[in-house]
Amino acid sequence: MLLTIDVGNTNFTFGIFDGKNLLTTFRMTTKQLRTSDEYGISIIDMLERNQISKSDVQGVIISSVVPNVMHSLTSAVIKYLDITPTIVGPGIKTGIRVMTENPKQIGADRIVDAVAAYDLYGGPALVLDFGTATTYDLVDGKGAFVAGVTAPGIRTSAQALWNEAAKLPEIEIKKPSSILAQETISSMQAGLVYGQIGQTEYIVKHMIKESGYEKVKVVATGGLGRIIANETDCIDIYDPILTLSGLRLIFEKQK
């Protein structure tokens, strides 16, 4: 079995694959720094709760955009699983060429998403990840990462509202029954959700137009991506496990 670990700005997302089959996923908050022992014990505990023995795990691959957790996390994998993990970074085989001005500035998670979208759905592809940031990454028909747009994520925008405006409450992020809001909570929900839908449609339209590519497959992922994907025709596919699948594919390419 393969343990895939996606370290994002908000959460760690763990996935266990048996071949191409994703058996289970579990999450851990990124905000709380832990020692290698705390990471190790938590990983073993979550594996056991899913009826998976640590001896069943034969490989580990990690993608991270949070550098300060990597020493403890890598040490935990080595100590508790007796495996040296594969780290997505410079020098690793991905099958994706990064054609931007400074390839090293492209986050590992974006490369992983691009690998998954291109390998699973073909190219050209536009990959949308609705996470802490909302990212739009363009892959051409030959598997090259050619451009990317970065915008605040839905939850990040929401937190800015209730942290900076004293009278605005913390709310659940969901589509309200109508955009014609008549009270504060639905007003905020309308602004966040419909605002993200409008942003998504505009950016997707103009990235495809300026690229000149035809028949671009638009693939979305990320925790809040389903809300947006259900409300717009500009997204062709919503794949909630796109990043974990990309990690599996990259691990297999190392062979």
Q: Which residues are catalytic?
A: 109
Cis ω for the linkage preceding 124 (within 30 of 0): yes
Q: Cβ neighbours of residue 138 under 8 Å, at least 6 residues apart?
A: 124, 125, 126, 127, 145, 146, 147, 148, 207, 211, 213, 216
Q: Cβ neighbours of residue 146 under 8 Å, at least 6 residues apart?
A: 99, 100, 138, 139, 140, 211
Phi then psi for residue 226, to 5 deg, are -60, -40
C-alpha span between 190 and 203 (Å, rounded): 19
Phi then psi for residue 59, to 5 deg, are -155, 155
